[in-house]
Amino acid sequence: MRTLRFVLVIAAFAAATAALGWWGVPLVGAAFGVIAARERGSAALAGLAAMVAWTALLLVDAARGPLGHLASVLAGVLTIRPIGVYGVTIAFAGLLALTSALVARGVAPRGSRLG
């Protein structure tokens, strides 16, 4: 059951990102934070799911086009190695999801928690 939930949360992050861009990550993270508020580790699960979803999206983009060239250009701007661009991108998604889940869990009224 936990595996199915994890896969569904990954799919939600991927779909929200495809539809809304990076703004979809905190929206899904906040929604999951409210829904699973009573469960330990739910915010960490949201962060990990966002990281997996964005890794999958990066792999799909890499298969389609010159993602390596873009990473090289961004690495030059950021003065890091190209592999660091991928790490920063994936970490960004994870931190957005984690923090939005934590904030939503703390702000949501007790009566609205569905978990």
Q: Divide the 115 residues of the chain into consecutive groups of 10 and give the mean pLDDT of each group.
A: 91 96 96 88 94 93 78 80 86 97 84 50
Token pair of 15 as six digits = 């779909």
Phi-psi region of 41 (alpha: psi -120 to 50; beta: other; left: phi over 0): left
End-to-end CA distance of the chain: 14
Question: Do 16 and 27 touch, CB atoms closer than 8 A?
Answer: yes
Write down the pLDDT at residue 68.
Answer: 74
Q: What does R_g of the chain's alpha carbons equal in angstroms?
A: 15
Q: How many CB atoms lie within 10 A of CB 64?
A: 8
The pTM of this model reads 0.85
Write down the pLDDT at residue 69.
Answer: 78
